[in-house]
Structure 1
Amino acid sequence: MDAVYQRHETVVSEPAWAVGLMWVGLPLAGAGAGWLLQALAGWLAELPWVPFDGLFELVASVADNEPLATIVSLAVGAVVGLVLAVMGAMEMLVVRITDGDVTLRRGDSTRQINRSVVQTVFIDGKQLVLLGRDAEELAREGFDLGADAMRDGFLAHGYPWAAAGDPYRDEFRRWVPDDPALPGSADALLKARAKALEKGDKSDAVELRGELGKLGVVVREEAKRQYWRRTHPTGG
């Protein structure tokens, strides 16, 4: 992960080589896969245990129409690779840090968090977490590469960095349905979120995390198991 330091801000993002590799490598890999599929289609269609044999038969039926078959297979594969590159770019996290605020950008989504409300910052596994003054989660964003540049960026602007990780980690408890310790409709929200996690619906899981936060409940998951704790309202 790259950290670009300027006088008043630090931008932490994926390294340029990784971005370039994605934009060039995925279309090339897709083109290669398309050509390989076209070359092996006839053989694959004859195997009784291979699924989608009708698709392979269709590809094999036009494989002899050269050079059109090769051109089409390369083009289709490259387009698929390009689509995957676009999806990958949309998932990349860019963090802009200044003395006054933090901006988190992923694809078309941008969030800005004022420095004055941040209590602590830490890495939880492969996620960047910012906690507020009431120990509520202000942000939890996944990223793929090393944490050193992220840590150095926040420290350079005076943010409280928790090197040991989540200072409230011992307060989390495993969620079980109908837990009487949960406030209000939190149990129903956790049930809905469990279903979203099971289906792999990330956007719904994120939205439900936000709804739980409004009830003073912080939630995290490990292998689709949910763990929760209460916030610490100031003066409460």
Structure 2
Amino acid sequence: MSGTEVTTVVRQKTSNRVLVAAGFPVLGAVAGWLLKLLANWAASWPWIPWEGPVRLIDNAPEPAATIVSLLVGALAGGVLVLLAEHGYVTVTIEDDQVTTARGDASRSVPRHAVHAVFADGRRLVVLGARGEELAVESKNEGADLPSITELAEAFRAHGYPWLPEGDPYRDTYRRWVEDTPDLPPGGNALFKARAEALRKNDEKDIADLRKELARLGLVVRDEGKRQWWRRVEQAEADSRADSN
């Protein structure tokens, strides 16, 4: 964590990022070499799946086969490093606003709009006065948060209301099941699409559908592949007014 009198930036520790950047290509190279050895061993079996590729690897001349296996594994590890870099979340906290950034996307929330901030597992949430989520960074959506302890210290240092007990609305959530009543029109369809995105670990769709649900006045929280939901306070008031 680094900062000045007016700005604090909380990000993944450099040592962790260096470890990932150096370690993944090495692990990938080792995995590639082991797969080559496995293919050589499997070639002696009387029957093997994917016989063509296995025979091709087994018959490849040395040392070219070993070199290629190491390079391919290292490149695969490099791809994982790039994915990890895209997932790192940087939180910039200023007296008048808070900004979360990940990859090429960022979101800023003015201080006057922030009612509370909390972490729920590997999830960072900035709440508005009606209980709406003004900013969310969630592991289910590909986010890799920095230290929660450092985040808490930084938000408190700038006077933001950090909630150490977590989500103040946790007891108001209801589990979504197909065709749940009392949802706004289109709500069930969005939840169903999001359930499929969760099943496929499609991080972009998971995040995009969260935003679509937010437009309907719905807040969603995930527990594994299960979805729990609640209304924002104004949405509840509007719903009661409509029923009257």
Alignment of 1:152-231 (within 5 A): 152-231=153-232
How far 1:9 moved relative to its partner? 1.1
Hey, what's the Cα distance between the residues in 1 that align with 2:50 and 2:102? 35
Deviation of 1:81 after TM superposition, in Å, equals 1.0
Cα pair distance change 1:173/1:234, threshold 3 Å: closer
Distance change (3 Å), C-alpha of 1:92 and 1:52:
farther
**Residue of 103, 114, 120 corresponding to 2:116:** 120
- One-letter code aligned to 2:110: N
AA partner of residue 112 (structure 1): S
Amino acid at match of 1:57: R
Asked if the contact 1:121/1:131 (under 8 Å) is kept, the reply is yes
Alpha carbons of structure 1 residues 18 and 52: separation in structure 2 relative to 1, 3 Å: farther
**Structure 1 or 2: more helix by fraction:** 2
Structure 1 residues 235, 192: closer, same or farther in 2, change over 3 A? Answer: closer
Out of 100, 103, 118, the residue aligned to residue 104 of structure 1 is: 100
Task: Determine the C-alpha separation between the residues in 2 that align with 1:116 and 1:235.
Answer: 23
Identity %: 47
Look up the match of 1:11.
9
The corresponding residue for 2:141 is none
Q: Bigger shift: 145-154 or 91-100?
A: 145-154
Deviation at 1:112, TM superposition (A): 1.4
TM superposition score normalised by structure 1: 0.90
Is 1:93 aligned to 2:92, yes or no? no
Using the alignment, how far apart are the partners of 1:48 and 1:192 within structure 2? 46
Equivalent residue letter for 1:159 = Y
Distance 1:24 1:54, change over 3 A: same
Give secondary structure in 1 for the equivalent of 2:70. Answer: helix
**SS of match in other structure, 2:115:** strand
Equivalent residue number for residue 33 of structure 1: 31
- Contact 1:217–1:228 under 8 Å retained in 2: yes
State the number of aligned residues.
Answer: 232
Verify the 8 A CA contact 1:45 1:54 in the aligned structure 2. Answer: no
Do the aligned partners of 1:27 and 1:79 also contact (CA within 8 Å) in 2? yes
Q: Which residue of 137, 140, 152 corresponds with 1:141?
A: 137
Whole-Å Cα distance in 2 between the matches of residues 45 and 226 of structure 1?
A: 46
* Partner secondary structure for residue 198 of structure 1: helix
Separation (CA, whole Å) in 2 of partners of 1:225 and 1:118: 28
- What CA RMSD, in Å, does the superposition of the two structures yield over aligned residues? 2.0
Provide, for residues 157-187 of structure 1, a one-character-per-residue CA deviation record: whole Å limited to 9, x for no partner.
Answer: 1111111111111110111222222122212
Is 1:43 the equivalent of 2:41? yes
* Per-residue Cα deviation, 1:83-115 (whole angstroms, up to 9, x for no partner): 111111111111111111111111111111211
Structure 1 residue 234: deviation in Å? Answer: 9.5
